[in-house]
Amino acid sequence: GSGAGAASPGDLSGALSGTVSFAAGQTRATVTIQVVADTLAEADERFTVSLAKATGGATIGRETATGAIINDDLLALRVYEIQGEGHRSAYDGQTVATGGIVTALASNGYYLQDATGDGNARTSDGVFLFTGSAPSGLSVGDAIRLVARIDEFTGSDATLLSLTELVPVGTPTIVSSGNALPAAVLIGPDGVRPPTEILDDDRLSDYDPANDGLDFFESLEGMRVTVQSPHSVAKTDGSVWTVAGDADGVAATNVSAAGYLVIDGGEGGLGVVNSGAGSDFNPERILIGTLTGTVPTVQAGAVFDDVTGVVSYRSGNFTVLATTTPTVATSAPATADPTTLSGGGNQMLVATYNVLNLDPNDDPTRFARLGRDIGNALNAPDVVVLQEVQDNDGATNSSVTSASVTLQKLVDAIFAETGVRYTYIDNSFIADDANGGEPGGNIRVAMLYRADHVQLIEGSVRPIPAATGAAQATDPTNAFFAARPPLVADFLFNGEQVTVIGNHFTSKGGSGSLAGAIQPSIAGGEVDRVAQAAVVNEYVDTLLATNPAARIVVAGDLNDFQFEEPLQVLTGNATFAGGTIAAGGTAVLENLTYRLAQNERYSYVFDGNAQQLDHVLVSAGLQAGALIDVVHINRDEFASDHDPVLVQLSVGQLRSVVGGTAGADTLVAPSGNGTDRVFDAGAGNDVILGSTGNDLLIGGAGSDYLFGGAQADTFRFTSVAAAGDRDYVLDFNAGLGDRIELFDNVTIRAATYGNVSEQVLGDRSLFNDGKVFDAVLTLRVEDGTRSFDYQVTLLDVVKNRGWSADQFEDYLRGLGFDGQLSYSETLV
């Protein structure tokens, strides 16, 4: 044989070559290999027997076979010889004699370390001894000799790395007690530094502790270490993820402003995590647990005093098990992460938020927190795409699929906390028990929208055809089988149509450990997600084929990172067909995640890695000037395990905004200005005077007088009015382009014009001829909690737009206006 562990010719006796003869009809023969007996303690060795040069028409079915020389002499090995350079001991399964200093006691064994070590940073000097229960008769500092069997322990999950451990045979012999412990290896800026980017880039084929994070921690397995000034990078969950540091910061890359470690992608492929060469999956993360006591509960950003412990491997992660309870040096600073994004004018706010299995039975405080999140922290977006909204009886497994109660409770909570009123869109296209998630919960994608800011286009709520119906519920080959169907709706904002597609792709369940034996690790559900991305991308293609300038937003919890294959297919930068990914294609969407700084691309934290699972993508019609913010609000006041993502989009022509107060206001546009304006007068009995330009006038509460001025104007009426209000539109002329907008559960109950009275209960439009003026409209508000009427009178005084201020004031007085006007110029 050749290579490590191969037998040499001196291990064998007799001829090493010869002839094997077969009689007619004979199909097997025995080849006897003589082994030279010795009493040398050594590792098992292997050899190969080869057959060749068959004659007489014979054929060889199997040309080679490997045998092993099993060592039956007791090896005397130092701990670092047992560990060796690699993840597995060369002596696995053998019984050896060894010894060292007991460094720590555990509930199921103890840790042993060679007193002096070999000085080789590539080999570990420590090892765990498994006893199955708390060891008796041993103390930390004992020097012992023992006989033990070497075992590479993986437990029941063969996809994990093994822990090299010893299983004692008999009782250890205590040589001495009270010995000084071997010095702990310092990990941090003043000691050895873990690699900061690569976990593994060679499928564990090359043992490289200097560059590969998994190999680095393997080289310390079982040893005493001290983590210098650990900074927490996630909240405590039994144990806590940290990174070593000092007063100047942390020994890490890709650190966010709040102290999280953010990932970045590299080599990989479909079905595996792209954590190979060129990636940054933060191998410098250090998980700290304890052998005694508990880890203090902290948030990300806390700093511990130095932590000393032993390195173990458990549940798929290398872990430093502290030998004394860690102490907090500095608590995490309070976080305030207000968004800088805001709506108004032609700026539309759209958010996506996974609300974590929200159901009506959740504690009211959770609804209140979500209400504050949406209404305050997110600046009350115009449209909110929600994921993980459960049905009306939550996890109870019934035939209920509607989420009307859940959504109404959320809408009410937002209003109670912030005074902002939303309307919900449930997903009526889901089937019972066909969407994954918590059994019985029927989680779905849903939406909220502000009817005072956007108008839902009637009949536009729909699924993506290929992702719903019987096929989605019953056909395993459907891309959305056992997953959440997308939800689509069209909205009018600032006079322009915006299509929003809400998504929640298949989860990452079934993923392998990043620190496992399979490298790169398995990306659970990614094949499903890439198929779902292809369906959504194809649907976007159909919308753009009809209208290349279509304004499209694709938002949601996509359960994958921006650099993984599903997101490349969704944007159009790659294609997926027949189970195969092909690079290249036509990009039809931009993932706005890439507009964030690299170290701020995260909406979710898992195993100490901050990562972006929630995304907003937009078509070309919305890309100019688009802004994005991941609003990190779930660190201190937890309402979900995801942070929401907010985008600010420029939609249509920019309009200046003139706002009123709670009192009686006069809002006046300067003459001669052609830019559009939005006038929102607020409460009180107000006068709004537009000028040239296409203006949007919103009277709000109170009895108001609205004058649009020249060009086409829009007069909007909403449910913020009160019973008995009476508004006047002083220059309404549909023939010149003026129009009425009804928002937020407002309909026309009746209309009187001339001598004609027409009942149009429930209508939201104003007559087919489009030329009505000198009419009185009775508007009805029905929002589930209120029901009342108020009036709007439409007048046509276009011929009098040259009036002076005094003439116009006299006209208002004739209509009953008794307020004070604060303008002086002639109306245009």
Q: Given pLDDT bands bounded at 50, 70 and 90, which one contains residue 700? A: confident
Q: Given pLDDT bands bounded at 50, 70 and 90, which one contains residue 10? A: confident
**pLDDT exceeds cutoff 60 at 822:** no
pLDDT at residue number 252: 95
* Mean pLDDT estimate for the chain: 88
Comparing 806 with 405, the larger pLDDT belongs to: 405
Over the stretch 568-610, which tens digit does the pLDDT of each residue have?
Answer: 999 999 999 988 999 988 999 999 999 999 999 999 999 999 9
Distances (CA, A) of 542 to 284, 536, 546, 563, 586: 45, 10, 7, 25, 14
**pLDDT exceeds cutoff 70 at 683:** no
pLDDT at residue number 56: 78
pLDDT at residue number 527: 97
What's the N-to-C CA distance of the chain in angstroms? 101
**pLDDT exceeds cutoff 50 at 496:** yes
pLDDT at residue number 724: 86
pLDDT at residue number 344: 87
pTM: 0.78
Check if the beta carbon of residue 358 is closer than 8 Å to that of residue 410: yes
Beta bridge partners of 65: 49
Q: Given pLDDT bands bounded at 50, 70 and 90, which one contains residue 797? A: low
* pLDDT > 70 fraction of the chain, expressed in percent and rounded: 87
**pLDDT exceeds cutoff 80 at 656:** no
Comparing 298 with 770, the larger pLDDT belongs to: 298
Over the stretch 427-484, which tens digit does the pLDDT of each residue have?
Answer: 999 999 999 999 999 999 999 999 999 999 999 999 999 888 888 999 999 999 999 9
Reduced to 3 states (helix: H, G, I; strand: E, B; else coil), residue 381 is coil
Check if the beta carbon of residue 645 is closer than 8 Å to that of residue 614: yes
Comparing 193 with 805, the larger pLDDT belongs to: 193
Q: State the Cα–Cα distance between residues 409 and 426, nearest whole angstrom.
A: 13
Check if the beta carbon of residue 324 is closer than 8 Å to that of residue 293: yes
pLDDT at residue number 805: 56
Find the mean pLDDT for residues 703-708: 80
Q: Given pLDDT bands bounded at 50, 70 and 90, which one contains residue 526? A: very high
Q: Given pLDDT bands bounded at 50, 70 and 90, which one contains residue 39? A: low
HSE of 280, CA atoms in CB hemisphere, 13 A? 15
- The enclosing H or E element of 410 equals helix 404-418
Q: State the Cα–Cα distance between residues 209 and 220, nearest whole angstrom.
A: 10
Q: Given pLDDT bands bounded at 50, 70 and 90, which one contains residue 746? A: confident
Q: State the Cα–Cα distance between residues 692 and 698, nearest whole angstrom.
A: 17
* Unique residue bearing structure tokens 């800026």: 189
For the purposes of burial, counting CB atoms within 10 Å of the CB of 376, is it exposed (0-12), middle (13-18) or buried (19 or more)? middle
Q: State the Cα–Cα distance between residues 692 and 679, nearest whole angstrom.
A: 14
Q: State the Cα–Cα distance between residues 598 and 336, nearest whole angstrom.
A: 20
pLDDT at residue number 802: 52
Comparing 65 with 91, the larger pLDDT belongs to: 91
Find the mean pLDDT for residues 413-435: 96
Find the mean pLDDT for residues 142-148: 98
Per-range mean pLDDT, top range of 46-50, 676-680, 793-797: 46-50
Q: State the Cα–Cα distance between residues 12 and 20, nearest whole angstrom.
A: 19
pLDDT at residue number 27: 80
**pLDDT exceeds cutoff 90 at 758:** no
Find the mean pLDDT for residues 219-243: 98
pLDDT at residue number 158: 93
Q: Given pLDDT bands bounded at 50, 70 and 90, which one contains residue 818? A: low
Strand extents, DSSP E, 189-279: 224-227, 231-232, 240-243, 245-246, 249-250
pLDDT at residue number 115: 98
Amino acid making up residue 56: G
Q: Given pLDDT bands bounded at 50, 70 and 90, which one contains residue 558? A: very high
Amino acid making up residue 543: L
Q: Given pLDDT bands bounded at 50, 70 and 90, which one contains residue 769? A: very low
Find the mean pLDDT for residues 652-658: 66
Dihedral angle sign, alpha carbons of residues 91, 92, 96, 101: positive
CB proximity list for 436: less than 8 A, separation 6 or greater:
443, 482, 483, 484, 506, 507
Find the mean pLDDT for residues 92-99: 98
Over the stretch 233-284, which tens digit does the pLDDT of each residue have?
Answer: 999 999 999 999 999 989 999 999 999 999 999 999 999 999 999 999 999 9
Evaluate the omega torsion of the peptide bond into residue 230 and state whether it is cis, within 30 degrees of 0: no
Over the stretch 603-634, which tens digit does the pLDDT of each residue have?
Answer: 999 999 999 999 999 999 999 999 999 999 99
**Paired sense of beta strands 746-753 and 756-763, if any:** antiparallel
Q: State the Cα–Cα distance between residues 556 and 486, nearest whole angstrom.
A: 9
Tokens matching residue 688: 């709004």
